[in-house]
Structure 1
Amino acid sequence: MVDVFFNTWDNNRINNSRPIDTNDPTYVIVHGYQSTGGNPGNNFTPQAWMSEMAQNIRDLEGNDANILVVDWQDGANTLNYFAAADRVDEVGVEVADYLLGQGVNPANTTLIGHSLGAHIMGEAGEELRERRGEVDRLIGLDPAGPEFEGGWFSRPNSTDYRLDPSDADRVVAFHTSSTLGYDDPLADLDLYINWDDLLQPGASTFVGNHGYAHTLYNDLLDGFGFAQSNGTTLSLSTINGNTAGSVFVDTFTV
């Protein structure tokens, strides 16, 4: 069984003595392959983007929110990507078990996952729907493609084994890497970010493209908006609103 740690974000730091208030909204953030959300082995130090995201949510919600930073480094820190991918369902069930054990209301919960973490949250959302009720929102940050979207020798995974629109009341996917990410639509709103460009802003490799998904979501949480040539603006309200379908956006636009 993969060791999973559920770290409570307070204000600018993890504080695992902070209790969960089931009357408040809950946000859960999980990482992907070869990453960490903080555990005893690294003195509970999450990836920088996770700390930034947790604090951005704290700044938006004030003190009245439960913010959990989830660590499954025990299963993700391997050279064998496919072994890590095969642990997605197990970790997703552990996330659901924990939330149910804490008495968290799925209808007041947002699940956020990057790469393999997006599919983990898909599994968690499915488990919660079947056992307690539908999750309010699920944000998939460049959901992982390899072993999930199929290829020359395999068919795409069924929706039981990956993120899909039934995993929450509203599912949003950021697509930022055609190499490491899932290319086809798999959410209520699929945002294809700078899809015709070789590299994302600030990226020098396809790995950087993959990470741009959480960079962009942090920018949106921080209040940034990106004007589009059609007169619309990509902002946090786009994510939280009613926009649906596949939408191509340009974040290079000034």
Structure 2
Amino acid sequence: MSCINQGLPTIVYTFGYRGKATGPATTAVLNAYISKKKRNVILLDWEEEAQSGLLGIPLGYALSAVPNAKKIGRALGDALTKMTASGVNLTDIHLIGHSLGAHIMGFAGKRVREYGNVITRITGLDPARALFEGVLAVYSGLDRTCARLVDIVHSDPGGYGISSAAGTVDIWPNYSRNGVTQPGCPHGKIHMLKQEDLCNHDRSWHFFVEALGAPTSFPCAAAESYEEWIAGNGDVEQKIYLGDLTSMRAKGNFYLNTKADSPYSMGAEGMIPNDNQTRVRRNPNFTRILRYFR
């Protein structure tokens, strides 16, 4: 506790399956917060427990990484509860996770609730889909009950990320009716789990990091559904911002478009509806079922 300034907000970040403590997402998120200063910045390093090992990628995910994620999340919840007993205020804690790491933060939030407390905010950067959604859903991870504000950035819904509106706030960058291929990301026949294949999934943290450096750069229009937004019924007057400035009072679905390359922000223009039906999804053949195991 001596390394935590109790007068400052505390950011806790963690990565997903097969992630690394020195990986690009971790480095980008931590550096963005460190550069903002006046915050305690903590990395939950579960690199060893996050690897697939000898089991291979699908089995390593299902039999090792996900069970480990639940244990680690609950342990984090215990640790956060002890921190509050030492004077750290839960209202100053913001948990952030990418992919499977988002569910770790969800497990932590649920554990804190078992003690009768509530985390103020959890941000899920494209929470992992495998074993948390669909016919193979056997775990209940990050959802709107885990914190007062659960904001989720869905950059690969139905692919590596969940497709359901699970947060109190659900942000859908570049969404379309036939799924999402983020502008600038490849499509068609792509080798699974290669960097190109993870492009959509990783855009969530790219957008978030860019928003940390320019807090009002990603305004999002409120709409009951994608169809309502496309029909021109989105409410730009009820806009929120992706990133640190997401309002604690916000609820529902929010939509925006981005550019294909960094800087991704389109500013207010990004809230103008654009039916992305012509955007081609990645090859959906049967072999891609394995993509869910990340």
| TM-score of the superposed pair, with normalisation by structure 2 | 0.68
Find the counterpart in structure 2 of residue 40 from structure 1: none
| 1:137 aligns to 2:113 (yes or no) | no
Q: Which amino acid aligns with 2:198?
A: V
| Further displaced range: 82-91 or 208-217 | 82-91
Note if 1:100 corresponds to 2:81: yes
Distance change >3 Å, CA 127–CA 52, structure 1 → 2: same
CA shift at 1:92, angstroms?
0.1
User: In structure 2, what is the Cα distance between the partners aligned to 1:214 and 1:146?
Assistant: 19
CA contact (8 A) 1:106 1:128 kept: no
Give the drift of 1:206.
Answer: 4.0
Query: How far does residue 191 in structure 1 lie from its aligned partner after superposition?
Result: 0.8
Q: Which residue number corresponds to residue 72 of structure 2?
A: 91
Say if 1:172 and 1:34 are closer, same or farther in 2 by CA, change over 3 A: same
Give the SS at the match of 2:145. Answer: helix
Matches within 5 A, 1:168-207: 168-177=147-156, 178-196=158-176, 198-204=180-186, 205-207=196-198
Q: Distance in 1 between matches of 2:219 and 2:146?
A: 30
State the shift of 1:118 in Å: 0.6
Q: Secondary structure at the match of 1:248?
A: strand
Residue 43 of structure 2 is aligned to residue 69 of structure 1: yes
- Report Cα offsets for 1:182-216 as digits up to 9, x if no partner: 00111000111112275324433441100111111
Measured at CA, do residues 200 and 22 of structure 1 come closer, stay the same or move farther in structure 2, by a change above 3 Å?
same
| Cα offsets for 1:91-133 (capped at 9, x unmatched) | 1012223333443332210000011111100010111222262
Unpaired stretches in structure 1, ≥5 consecutive residues: 1-16, 38-45
Structure-2 separation of matches of 1:198 and 1:164 = 21
Aligned-pair Cα RMSD in Å: 2.5
Using a 3 Å threshold, how does the CA distance of structure 1 residues 95 and 227 change in structure 2: closer, same or farther? Answer: closer
Pick the structure with greater CA Rg. 2
1:199-238 matches, cutoff 5 A:
199-204=181-186, 205-223=196-214, 225-226=217-218, 231=236, 232=239, 234-236=241-243
Unmatched segments (≥5 aa) in structure 2: 187-195, 222-233, 260-265, 270-294
Tell me whether 1:31 sits opposite 2:22 in the alignment: no
* Percent of aligned positions that are identical: 26
Distance between the aligned counterparts of 1:111 and 1:228, measured in 2?
21
AA matched with 1:167 = C
For these two proteins, the number of residue pairs brought into alignment is: 223
SS in 2 for 1:179: coil
SS state of the match for residue 42, structure 2? strand
Compute the displacement of 1:181 (Å).
0.4
> Residues 151-172 of structure 1: CA distance to partner in whole angstroms, max 9, x if unpaired?
2xx4x456xx211111111000
Equivalents in 1 of 2:247, 2:43: separation in Å?
21
Counterpart contact for 2:220–2:254, Cα < 8 Å: no
Match of 2:145 in 1: 166
Partner SS state of residue 128, structure 1: helix
**Please, what TM-score do these two structures have when normalized by structure 1?**
0.78
CA contact (8 A) 1:203 1:212 kept: no
CA contact (8 A) 1:150 1:157 kept: no
1:148 Cα deviation after fit: 0.4
Distance in 1 (CA, whole Å) between partners of 2:219 and 2:45 is 35
CA distance in 2, matches of 1:228, 1:187: 15
Deviates further, 241-250 or 133-142: 241-250
Secondary structure in 2 matching 1:220: helix
Question: Does 1:149 pair with 2:156?
Answer: no
Say which SS state the counterpart of residue 71 (structure 1) adopts.
coil
Letter in 2 for 1:90: K
User: Is 1:49 the equivalent of 2:25?
Assistant: yes
Asked if structure 2 preserves the Cα contact closer than 8 Å seen for 1:223 and 1:236, the reply is no
